Structure 1
């Protein structure tokens, strides 16, 4: 059966919840950020695979903002949706919330963006269905990721090691927590 040419973010949205255990904590007693990253990668994979109908791999992680700590005993819920589609890639937006299951208080703990690439049976990049944008927030999320992609390309060009114009930035470093002692080699 052929994949549809377009899918809505709603069709492939994923939600997972997991109770945070002492084995997930770091030395300060909070849930280890590495464990949360592990869960983020899992839900990004599931969401991207559901959207594309293919096995998917993580190409990059744009941003992981740890906003509030997660405590042992809290129920963590991750909500993932496809925010942007390219030809073979998808940006998966993920929101992480933690709920104190005794009080019912829910806090936003993390927002992340994973770029996932679909692979065919031979391990080659595979085309993905596009996004059918139904709601204003769908359009906003798509355009935001499209802009971020353009910003990354411009930044890569501007800061390329071979063409970087140091004179353009030296003045901007004055007054910052740095000392410049340039060597010639």
Structure 2
């Protein structure tokens, strides 16, 4: 009987240990993009109608997507590195980066909306990861990539100020 209890306890312990994972801070501090690639999928979209809908809804406190926080951001050449944090750890997460297609001038500014899809991840580990946005892939080979400011919003921000401005 004790043997059965020990096996059951071991199985439960192994299931618990392997059910969720956490990103390490060591992965986030790398300057090698291949080593620093996020575990989440990032989808780039240019869609004014979607951007405007997300923007109007967030200002009315109608959040879309799953909860997450934009911790910080920086530009590294033709890439934006956005550090995000969210609960999860058991499913692959997806981030949609939506641009309205507008480059505001004087000075150049580009607004981007981040939408998080947790894929019904019910795990409770607090994940911090850096997602990479390839500006050339999003904007094309244009001369204003390096001179633009980038205002990044998430769909839970109900203010007129971006979560981060790079």
TM over 0.5: no
Shorter chain as denominator, the TM-score bin is 0.3 to 0.5
TM-score for the superposition, normalised by structure 2: 0.32
Higher RCO structure (Cα 8 Å, ≥6 apart) = 2
- Name the structure with the higher helix share: 1
TM-score for the superposition, normalised by structure 1: 0.30
Compare CA radii of gyration and give the structure with the larger one: 1
